[in-house]
Structures are given as C-alpha cells and as structure tokens.
Structure 1
C-alpha cells in the first residue's frame, strides 16, 4: 500500500544515525573509487560469511528472460506458467462458494468467502508431500476503483464490509493433477478467510495493557481483524506468520492532531480509508487506543480449521513487512522482521523457551516470552542487537515506558531511545539455512541525502536512493548472537544511468527496488521487485520494464532474470513445494495506475491480466519446468 516514493511513511524524527552515517572517511570514498569496491573489499571483509564457498556445480541453470513491458507473464525457455486462485475466486468453504462477478458487484458477504485482493506473501504447507497442500497467502490492501463498480462515488456500510473482507489472509487447499497442472480443492475442510473483521486473540506482554483497551474490548485481549498483510513467515512448527504493515493509513484522525504517539507511527489528521464512516473503531480521534491493536505479527495455524489467530505482541509492534523464523541450535525461535517505511528499523526476537514437538498446538505460547532486539549497524562492518527490555538503559518509566507492554507497543520510540540504525525501508528478510546467512531487502529511500539526511558512505553510499539494495549478515555464533558482521549483497540499479547513485553494482541482469526475498533449499536467493507504477519506464527506470523475479547465486553474486510480470504489477511471495519442482509466486496489483487508484469507469485501462478480457486481478502464478526438473537448474 502507498508504494510510490512520495507517500511512503517518514515519521522518524529521532537523532539516531542513519546507516549512511556510520563509516569513516576512507570508506566514504566508495563512489569516487567505484561501486565495485563494495562487491570486492567489503564482501571479502566478511570472510566465510561473504561467500559460502565455490564448491559444487552452478546454482543457476536457466537462460535469463529479457526485460519486458508486455501485459503478460514471461518465464525462461523450458518452463511453463499457470494462473491460480485470482482475487474473487471462492476459497472453498463448503456450501459457501460465490462466483466472482466481473463487474465488481459482489457483496461484502460474498467477498468474505472469496480470495482477497492484492495477493502478497505466501507459503505452501504439505498435506501429501509435493502433490497436495495448503496455500496460505496475504492480501495486502485494496484498490477501490477496481473493488467497486463505481469506485467511491457512493459509499455505504456494505462497501466498508467488502473492503475489509478483501484484506487479510486466505487458506486454500490445492492439488497437482496427472498432467502437472494445479487446481483448488473445493470444498475443503481447511479453507478459511481471515479479514479485517475476524476475531483474534492478543497474547504476550501487551495483552490486557491499558493502551490496548477500548470500549468494545475493555479487557484488551480480543481484537477484530488484521490488515495490510504484507510478507509472511513459515514457522518450523508448522504455523504461518503474517505482518501488519501500513496499518496507520486506515485510521482517520480528526481529534487531537498533536498526539506524539500517533505522530511517531505515521497517523496524521485527514488520513484514512473512510472505513470510520461506518466502522467507528477506525476513528482514532474517538478511539485513540484502536491503532495500538494493529502493527503486530499474527500467527495462524493452517492445519487447524478451528484455531483462533493470535497477535504475538512480544515480537513487537511495527509497520511489519513480515516475519522470518530461524531456530537456534538448542531449539529456540528467532524471528526477524523489518519495517517498510523510510528511516525505520530492523528487529530480532529470541524466544525464551524451546520449540516442542507436536506442531502449532504444542507451541501455542512459544512466541509470547523472550527478548526483542533492534539492530545497530556499526561503521566497521559489525553490528549489535540492542535489547528492548523494560528497565534497561533508557527504557524506564521516567522516559515514558511504564512496563514491557508499553515498550513493545512503542517499539519505535524504544528503538529511537536506544540509538538503533535508521534504514531505507527494510522489507523482506530471508534466511539461508545452509550457510546461516541472513538477507534483508531495502527497497529504496528517495529522501536519503535530503536536508534532514545529507551524508553518504560505504554502508549506504547513495543519496536519493531510488534503486535500493540488499544487506547480508551473519550472526556471531548462533542466531541468538548479540553481534553480527554485515555487508551489502548487491546495490540495485542500471549502469546506463547518468547519476552515479543509480548505477548500482549488479553482476548480471539489472533491476531496481528489491522487495520480496526468499532462499530455496538449494541456496538460491530469489528477489522480487517493486518499482512503483509512478516511475516505471521513466527517468532512471526507463530501461527496466515491468517488475521481475530474479535468482541470485550467493556464492558468486550473479543475478539472472527468471520472470517478468504484467503491466503495473509487483512480484512477491515466492515459495516452492518440498521437492523444488513447483514454484509459486504472487502477482500483486496488475494494472496499477500511477496514482494507485483505478478509474472505475475504465478499470482495464492499463491491464487485462490474467484473463485478457476483464478487470485486472491479483493472482498466484504456478511455474514448472516442462521436463519436471528442479526449478532454477
């Protein structure tokens, strides 16, 4: 939501150093000496972390696809693609499977039983190995110009209900047919929809906190809904984690515009989705604690159709892009999460208890107790995880943190106080289980190097960082380590650009704005891009075409373009079946307009994907090798 460079949240007014402030003058000479220094000297400085080794055959065995501006999916030679479960398809709840109406006239009640809008993070959960499983995915936000036949020309309670129902998470059952094609299993006992109105539990240190209590929920332990669900994580115990990202945009604020807490989280007078006109809880002036009930990581058990989603407050409140889970050698859970906002932070949570056998039910409280940390990146290529623990350092009642519940609710303010490093929209985090390296995509920051933030250096050497980059680090010891070593994996860009900061240092196929990241079992780093429709094909992005999915070899740094998407879309949510022979990705907001809101009178102006005749619809794309081989080889 709000992906264009000018409207992304920028609410961090702390004096904390940005990542570009961290290097000494010698390392600031990177641009003068060439960006190649980053891929040479800095990568080498990490030793074993920088390169998993050169043994073994090549990871990338496909021929790159060319750049494209076509309204179509393009995959490499020898591969086939298939569209699955677009917005509006029934998820498969028995006795309740309303068909999608091409004129957008489905009601709110019908949308509650259908796939949501703007597919995002997803994961595959095996029921029968690689042939049958559950596909669980996020639905980030909505385009009212597509969702409703007349857009916002009229506005009523059912439109609010439908918009809320098009958010959240879907669980669908899918199976592979004898011919290799995949299809939904309908009906299915596992099929579920979670929306912005679904009852959810609150657990962890913020449960029952005074800042979580509302008139509708005086106990502060039950919340209605999840929204702006962006990236996702799959836990080792078999559950699904979804991040609540740009939730601040949903609230109207017509009351006190000087509320410092609201301001720090991006709430401003005049914002909102008009939901408050028929659902008063989204009026933050009247219900100032309601925003505190969003911005959490939500855990869902896809295998238990009767389970209640839980907001895990110990993992901290943020504009969560997602949650990526690792296990320490002794079995404790480590959850990494970034905030997709300018100058915000990167977090790590380490559980107190160890994972137990028995799946989600056996680990129902695993993420409720532990230590939340925020990252500080130091100038010498090292970093430190700073604990957000009440009573330690500045996190005291005298400084506005009465208890641990208030620390996690005000995680941004706590991170400000600790001196964490401000980053350029830290988004998806990916983990390589084989090398134990961790990656984070920093999509861009067009305000980098402005009046509020003038410097550049080796750690973030580009003012007006339109192209973005990918960080890589390795913890000292285990995943719960207090320190780490870090570098850049790649600076995105196009060497044909005149401005040095936009050239990048890509070894292989050029790209901009890395967003979705995922490492497969072979160690390939998959990178989905999210160039805004407001800049695609213009200026520094003139040669980059549509958004794309790339595969990178972490050993050599080589990047190859694997897929290009239709006009206006974002590529997101990569996952595979356990045998590595089926890749699932999500195509989000095909046909997105530069303003991000479609003209309801002409909804097919920019795209008719995927069916070629009707309004554009986000959908999952299934990709297989025609010879049945492993993806990417």
Structure 2
C-alpha cells in the first residue's frame, strides 16, 4: 500500500461511496478544516420579513417587471432568442434539434462502466498519458518521467470543450484542463518513495491544460485525436503566463523569481471554465491553497492556506511552494485567478486576469450585453462563499479577435447579495416551501471595483483584487452553498448557478437556512435561476428563484423540481458543471452523488420551460469512483462529450478499483500501450447515424 494512504484524514469519515482519496487529493480534506469565511455578514432577515413583491423590491415599475417574464415561457425559443443579448458563450451547442433519449435508471456506484441510453454508444477520445506529439512515447508507468508527462495528456481532465472548425465541420480542437493528481494511483509505492522529486515533477506536469486537434471522417460522428497536430499543446507548471489587469505589477504579486509581478510560471487546480465569444478558453484556478505551506497570516487563512507541511510536499522540491521561503512570500497570491488561453495558437502566451478577482474560481462564463460589454460570471467553490460578475470597460467588436482578447483586462467587479421575499419564519431549514409556493426573491450586484477605483473602504484596488474574499466580506455579500458553475443560457439569457452542497449550514455557530439556501445540512445541493433586470447583463438588480432542490425524492422529502412531480424525475445530487443544448435545456453533471444518494455520478437533462419545467432525466452515469465533468452537448450531431475524472479513486497503483476505460486486466498490458489501471478520459457518447438520437429504453455503451 502506498504510504500516502495512511495520511488521509477523511478515512472512516466519508459517507456512502465517497473516497477519502478524492477529498485528500482534490481539495486537501477541506471538510476537516474550519470554514474560511468567518464573517458575520447576513442581510436576509432584515429584508425578508417585509415579504415585498418582486416589483416593489426591485423598484422597477411596470416596465421593469414585465421585462422579466419575456422569454420562452411566453413567446417560444425563437422569439426569446431575438430578445436575448447580442452574443452568449460557454459550451455552445452545435445547433439543430433536440437530443432524443429515454432516461436511464440510476446506476449503482459500484458499476465499472459508462452507462448510456439504449441506442447510444461511447468511445474514449483521449486518456491520461496519451502522446500529443509525434515523438512522444505512450504511457509506460515503469518508465514515466516529467519530460514525458509534459508531452502527454494530463491527469484528471475537468473542463472540456470541443471546438469544431467552421470551414470543415470535420476538424477541430479538444481543450481540457487538468484539475489535480492522485499519486497513489499514478505511481508504484516503492518507486514513489525512491524518486519523490521526480514523481512530484511528473505530477506538476500532469496539471494544466491539453489542447489537441481532433478529426472525424466524412458522414461519421466519431471523433479521434490527432497525435502531432499543428495546434497540439501542453500547458504545465513551467509554462509562462502573463499577468494583466490592475493588479499586474503590484507589490502583492512580486517574488524573488519575478520581481516585476507580471509573469507567473504555470497554473494549478483548474476546474471548470468557459469558451468566450471570441474563441479563447477560460479556466478557474480553484483549490490552489493545498499546494502551499503558509506563514500563518490572516490573508492566507481566509484562503485556506495552512502552516503545516502540505500533503504533496512540493515545497520540498520547489521552494516557491513554501511561503516561508525568503522571496516567495507572495507566490500563492499568483494563483486563484481566471486564466485565458488561445487554443488556435500554440505559441501564444496564456494570461491571468486580475480584473476578475482572486478566489477559488470554479470557472468563468461570458455573455455579451446589449450595449456590447463582455460580462463574465464566476462562483467561489467553497462553503459559505460568493457569486461574482465582471463587466468589461470596453465593448465587443465582431470579427476583431485581437481587440476582443483584451476585454477581460479592464472593467468593473461585483459580488452578489440575495434576498428572499418570504417571512424568515417560513424558511425553517427543512426545505419545505414557503406559503407563496416558491423559493424566490431579488438581489443586487454589489460593487467592489468600478471605473478603476476601489469601492471597498480601506482597501486599494490591488488589495480588492488579490484579497477578493475579504473585500466581499466587507461589503456584505451573501454566503452560498458552494457556488460552482455559473452559466448564462444561450436561449433565454437567464443565469443558472450550481450550488453543490453545504453540510455545514445550520451547524452550531454557522449560518442557518435562508430562502436562497433553504436547507440546513444541505448535502444534495440546489440550482438557482437568476434573471437580471431587463435581461441586461450590465444591470445591478436581479430576481431569482430556485429551479430545483436536489436529492432522491424516494428518500428525501425536501426535494423540489419547480412543481414537476417528484415521483417522475431522475434522482440527482451535488450539481457541479452546467451546459445547454440548442433547444435551451439545461444539462447538469454531478460530483458527489455516491456519498449522498448512493448512485454513480451522472449527467442529467433538465427541461426549463412549459409544462415539463423541472423534469430531470438521467442521460449517463460514470464508472465507479468517477466524477462527471465538462459536459458538451452537440445535439445536432446526436453527441454528448464528458470528462470522466478520477475513475476508481480510492484504489491504488497496485490494487486499482477501476479498469476504465480500457479494462486491461494484466500487468503486461503496459507493453501493448495500455495502462494497467484507471485513466481519466474524455469520452464521446453518440447515436450512430442510423439512430440519430432516437434511442429508447436503457442500455450500456462500449469502449471504442
């Protein structure tokens, strides 16, 4: 057994099928540590007792109130689209019709396969360790090196996009980031102990991004990746990033290695992301705290950085990960940003955008407002943290990519305050609906930086951007239940916010239930639907409602699906990444369902309009130990793409808990180019041409 496994604080404390290894390697056992947000800001009760109507609370009058209901509920998707903002972006649908399928039954968390609807099949496009360049060797765990890993597909793929070249339709690029590594599963225990520095450098190079060209044959749906493609690229912890925005060059970002405070080597713990209207890819640096050994400052504590030796021990191999090393006190301040890469240019320098603030970004998604401003939305993925938006100073120019790539460099930053419209006494923490029949209310985007000036008393602009959590505390933002993906609908313009869970809500000394977070011990999470005033992305007022309160209705009476019958939905828990199809349906991938409802993590479709609003239908389930990440829906082609992250987590190199995706069953398989054990993988699920997405019933796919 790998000695690292004896250091897992969550052993014996996880519920259901959640692996203690996932807690350890993904977020450094965050559940065992105190919540970082100890502020006492809360404004819900002051307003909620008034139980005002939406119109009164917004102060918009008849015109503003009526604008909020213009959408597909009344006019249909075509007319709603005409009223939508100029451009929306994220994981854009490929266009065309709906993806036809019959929901599969929930799948046991012990099933080591990808389960898909009848009439569909699946194949792996690219796996951890697959070579990106012509002379790169295939993965051989007995001969792995940092150099090899820096030229191979990275570990634990999360955010994903499939960007098809418009001129051909049969070529494109696959972009994936790599959130974290699990050294127990990557390395033989004895080899790791004898080669710790090299193993750590391998792990460093398994982080970052992979960009690979993809292709498919004429009249075929199946995509394959191109080894040696001209746009292929690996971005790792040795790749130079340019720092831009108001905090670039700040004293808070300078180190001995970079006295300019304007360039950083590498990116860490990249989680979700988004593709911009100008074709670049954004990604959020999330649980970066776990990589640094801190000095014990209040600022470090607010971001979860501890003073003990880290579990990874990188500070012993590279001094910049030890903040107590002279000259590297600010190194952690150089992580926690939104990064932007150009997948079309392998020689471009990626950027860290300080204008969007520093926190544990799940990701960022951009829409273009009616006045042409680029607006980016982000969630801070920790318990009791906040939702943010950025509004660019300049405007979008069609067909001017060079200009548009500067839009996130300068602008205004806001954080959300939510208020409910029901009496506080009716929000009792059980999840029971208030008397008006909905969890809903209004909200305000509170300014942090506007017009290049700080709006936070006692903090300069660079302090607000480097210590954004502290700034948001000061202005009284609303604490949420792990806000993860924040996605604008490409049809209606409404925002959807995934609140994954918060089992600490309502515990002694911690904030209790509020209408926007209506359950204590919220283990299953919920989804908020947010409409900005006038459907204007630059507005500072909004209304909101809870689309669904997740869980398994058979075992949890507090679930809610916008009025859709709870006995007719697929159970869903721990919403994480979001996407849309061309008809405007919401797709939700999950992270944590094995420990809450006992089923494998999955991908679900949710109807947002009409009589079926709130209907949840399960499309697929991932293998044992895995998380569903980065859904991309190309429904015109009858295809869905997902990143299957950490399959078999909880096993070890010597005793794998999964054999996905190759199901190689002998150690000699490495000699045949197959790794004996699980490999994080990007998967395509598709209906063959003869089916065209009209599958019925439930079935399993097969690996390609």
Fold shared per TM-score above 0.5:
yes
What SS does the aligned partner of 1:6 have? helix
Cα deviations by residue, 1:34-54 (Å, 9 ceiling, x for unpaired):
xxxxxxxxxx99962796348
Query: So what's the TM-score if we normalise by structure 1?
Result: 0.88
Residues 628 and 413 (structure 1 numbering): CA distance in 2 closer, same or farther, change over 3 Å?
farther
SS of residue matched to 1:187: coil
> Is 2:687 the counterpart of 1:625?
yes
Given that residues 60 and 551 in structure 1 are in contact (C-alpha distance below 8 angstroms), is that contact kept between their aligned partners in structure 2?
Answer: no
Which position in structure 2 is the counterpart of 1:160?
200
Structure 1, unaligned runs of 5 or more: 28-43
Matches within 5 A, 1:123-272: 123-127=161-165, 128-150=167-189, 152-178=192-218, 179-253=220-294, 256-257=295-296, 259-270=297-308, 272=310
The aligned counterpart of 1:297 is 338
For residue 41 of structure 2, the aligned residue among 16, 25, 30 is 16
**Deviation at 1:82?**
1.0
Shift of 1:181: 2.4
Q: 1:578 to 1:134 in 2, by over 3 A?
A: farther
Work out whether 1:558 is the aligned partner of 2:637.
no
Q: Provide the rounded CA distance (Å) in 2 between the counterparts of 1:347 and 1:502.
A: 27
Is the contact made by 1:8 and 1:342 (CA closer than 8 Å) also made in structure 2? no
- Give runs of aligned pairs for residues 523-534 of structure 1, distance below 5 A: 523-531=584-592
In the other structure, the counterpart of 2:673 is: none
In structure 2, do the counterparts of structure 1 residues 150 and 21 end up closer, same or farther at CA, with 3 Å as the change threshold?
Answer: farther
**1:599 equivalenced with 2:661 (yes/no):** no
| Preserved CA contact (<8 Å) 2:158 2:271 | yes
Give the distance between the partners of 1:629 and 1:310, measured in 2 at CA.
43
Q: Determine the structure 2 residue equivalent to 1:107.
A: 145
Q: Output the TM-score relative to the length of structure 2.
A: 0.79
Q: Secondary structure at the match of 2:339?
A: strand
Name the structure 2 match of 1:37.
none
Structure 2 residue aligned with 1:489: 547
Residue 337 (1) aligns with residue 396 (2): no
Report the Cα distance in structure 2 between the residues aligned to 1:375 and 1:581, rounded to whole angstroms.
37
Task: Report the CA distance shift for 1:150/1:405 in structure 2 as closer, same or farther (over 3 A).
Answer: same
Query: Aligned-pair distance for 1:56?
Result: 7.7
Aligned-pair CA distance for 1:319: 0.3
Instruction: Please provide the CA RMSD for this pair.
Output: 2.7
Unaligned runs of 5+ residues in structure 2 are 1-25, 53-64, 79-96, 422-440, 665-675, 696-704
For residues 456 and 41 of structure 2, what CA distance do their matches in structure 1 show? 16
- CA–CA separation in structure 1 for the residues paired with 2:538 and 2:690: 39
Alignment check: 8 A CA contact 1:372 1:389 kept: yes
3-state SS of the aligned residue for 1:145?
helix
Query: Paired residue for 1:608?
Result: 659
* Residue in structure 1 matching 2:510, options 424, 431, 453: 453
Structure 1 window deviating more from structure 2 (508-517 vs 449-458): it is 449-458
Q: Distance between the aligned counterparts of 2:277 and 2:77, measured in 1? A: 27
The equivalent position to 2:582 in structure 1, one of 512, 517, 521, is: 521
Give per-residue Cα distances to partners, 1:536-565, cap 9 Å, x unaligned. xxxx523xx100000111111111000011
Contact 2:98 2:582 in 1 (8 A): no
Equivalence map 1:51-130=2 (5 Å): 52-53=73-74, 55=76, 61-69=100-108, 70-91=111-132, 93=133, 95-101=134-140, 103=141, 105-127=143-165, 128-130=167-169
C-alpha separation in 2, matches of 1:406 and 1:422: 21
* Mapped pair 1:383 → 2:436: no
